[in-house]
Amino acid sequence: MSRVGKFPVTVPSSVNVRVEDGTMFVKGPKGELSQDYHSSIVVGDLKDSKIYLETSAEDKKTRALHGLYRQLLHNMVTGVSQGFKKVLLLQGVGYRAELKGDTLLLSLGYSLPIEYFVPKSISISVEKQTRITIEGIDKQEVGQIAAEIRSIRPPDAYKGKGVRYENEYVRLKAGKSGVKK
């Protein structure tokens, strides 16, 4: 049995979990998500606001899938009840962000501003032109969009300029002035 898979998924009273034909549906105050799952995984019924996932086999692949689908179900329940959030910081002279409709305009030291189109399921807000907050109910999608925006100008190893996650530590290298002859 998987170490992660054996833990129950706690379901708040505002969230409804439904299982039909190999698909888990989770509906809550923030929206609805669905996820297909492997036939070797058995999703139990809701008892005392908890759901247990079990396996029908005990090979290595099934144990890995057991933990995976338990965590995916947990992320879906958390997403529809609380949501997920990532914060990006712009560091550098003249680096700024602006939101126009469903387009995020990024001035990151290139000759032209970069346009990033925001999907409907994600909400982005810009504070002080240097702080971008990405929010949504799907953890994977929020992380993917944050990674795509960061990859436009990742932090520089010498000056630290670029787009970084909040609380990300960027280790700076010593430049030529740090070397003695």
Helix axes 60-81, 139-152, angle to 10 degrees: 90
Q: Which domains does the chain have, with CATH numbers?
A: 9-81 (3.90.930.12), 84-165 (3.90.930.12)
pLDDT at 180: 64
- Sheet containing 131-136: give its strands across: 123-127, 131-136, 84-91, 162-165
Per-residue pLDDT of the chain (181 residues; tens, 9 = 90+): 567 777 888 888 888 888 888 888 999 899 888 988 888 788 877 778 888 888 877 788 888 888 888 899 999 999 999 999 999 999 888 899 999 988 999 898 889 988 999 999 899 999 898 899 999 999 999 999 999 999 988 988 888 888 899 888 888 888 777 566 6
Task: Give the torsion sign (CA, 19, 21, 137, 31).
Answer: negative
Beta carbons within 8 Å of 16's beta carbon, 6+ residues apart: 26, 27, 28
- pTM for this one? 0.84
157, 159, 163, 169 alpha-carbon torsion, rounded to 10°: 60
Q: Of the candidates 93, 112, 91, 110, which has an alpha carbon nearest to the alpha carbon of residue 172?
A: 91
